[in-house]
Structure 1
């Protein structure tokens, strides 16, 4: 067995990048650009954009950086109500200085209690008329669209490499007398991931020990470093 990681959330161990995540980031940025464009005719408005990704803040973080967002709320960076109120004060000060738009990207699993709706309501209450708040939940549109050239090429390369590896494994673990294939070691069930500049086959058994199954995350988030 050779697993090729495919998820827009990019929250799998054994790889720094999963198929689909690059396409999703591009789709999110395209939608945020449209929201920003619509905001050019408004004054003193805060936009809170919710992305998918579960407990993994990869999509929220990278799309926030790429789209020029002012802040991002993600599961990996803990925040509380005091932090939200502090952000309100920051927004107020920026509005006084002439900034007419403020953009926040929030991962859907950033906090079970400080939901996107909660953030909107808190901002609306604490703003005291200094600005208005609008929410945009992007939803499953993030999973659509045509794959980016990067995802297409990586998918082709990973598939070809996986097939080559499976053929090698079959030859190495085949009983010549019976023609049957017996799995004899952990490296016969692997995940083919991108680590640095190399593609690496990592035994699934080992990756299980590196995973937080409660939140379905690798114990170390490479993209936060």
Structure 2
């Protein structure tokens, strides 16, 4: 799920301790997939005997969910087993009641009216993939690799602005 935005896959990967999360914003190739498979193979030699790979639905048109599942299954033979699950199909829910249907219709109509107004207020011409101009969460993606124990170097040279931190007297701390 997530369309052209890898936010859901990234946050789910951080929360669940994923070994890899493939997203639209970060292009990857077969060598990246190979590196991740090798990482999982090495991980299985330790005391941790589980792995999690996430794939955003639009991350790559060639490296599909089936392709990635087959690749990991083939390369992990004798070391680990693979299972595939498309979460969007799992979280759909049960049969809606008449109340659910009428409430959804009302809320849908109100949502469309609200969205129409907001789009009229701030129409942009670069709305193709609905990607914001700044994606703050892309900077925390290396944390997922660190938590998965990849041997990587992390650039810590970027400084952050702490103006949002306010002490008890109400003045800004610097």
**TM score, norm. by length of structure 2:** 0.59
CA drift at 1:97: 1.6
Please give the root-mean-square deviation of Cα atoms over the aligned residues, in Å: 2.8
- Asked if 1:59 corresponds to 2:5, the answer is no
Q: 2:74 aligns with which of 95, 120, 125?
A: 125
1:30 corresponding residue in structure 2: none
Distance in 2, matches of 1:124 and 1:140, equals 22
Q: Does the 8 Å contact 1:212/1:219 carry over to 2?
A: no
2:44 corresponding residue in structure 1: 95
Distance in 1, matches of 2:137 and 2:46, equals 33
Q: Does the 8 Å contact 2:20/2:54 carry over to 1?
A: yes
1:218 corresponding residue in structure 2: 132
SS at match of 2:31: helix
SS at match of 2:26: coil
Q: How many residues align?
A: 121
Tell me which of the two structures has the higher relative contact order, counting C-alpha pairs closer than 8 angstroms and 6 or more residues apart: 1
SS at match of 2:54: strand
Q: 1:203 aligns with which of 121, 129, 144?
A: 121
- Asked if 1:85 corresponds to 2:13, the answer is no
Flag the structure with larger Rg. Answer: 1
> Higher strand fraction: Structure 1 or Structure 2?
1
Distance in 1, matches of 2:122 and 2:92, equals 26
Aligned ranges 1:133-152 → 2 under 5 Å: 133-142=82-91
1:115-157 Cα distance to aligned partner (Å, 9 max, x none): 1110011112222422111111112444659xxxxxxxxxxxx
Distance 1:127 1:217, change over 3 A: same
**TM score, norm. by length of structure 1:** 0.47
Distance 1:224 1:144, change over 3 A: farther
1:190 corresponding residue in structure 2: 118
- Which consecutive unaligned segments of at least 5 residues does structure 2 have? 95-109, 140-174
Q: Does the 8 Å contact 2:6/2:56 carry over to 1?
A: yes
1:112 corresponding residue in structure 2: 61
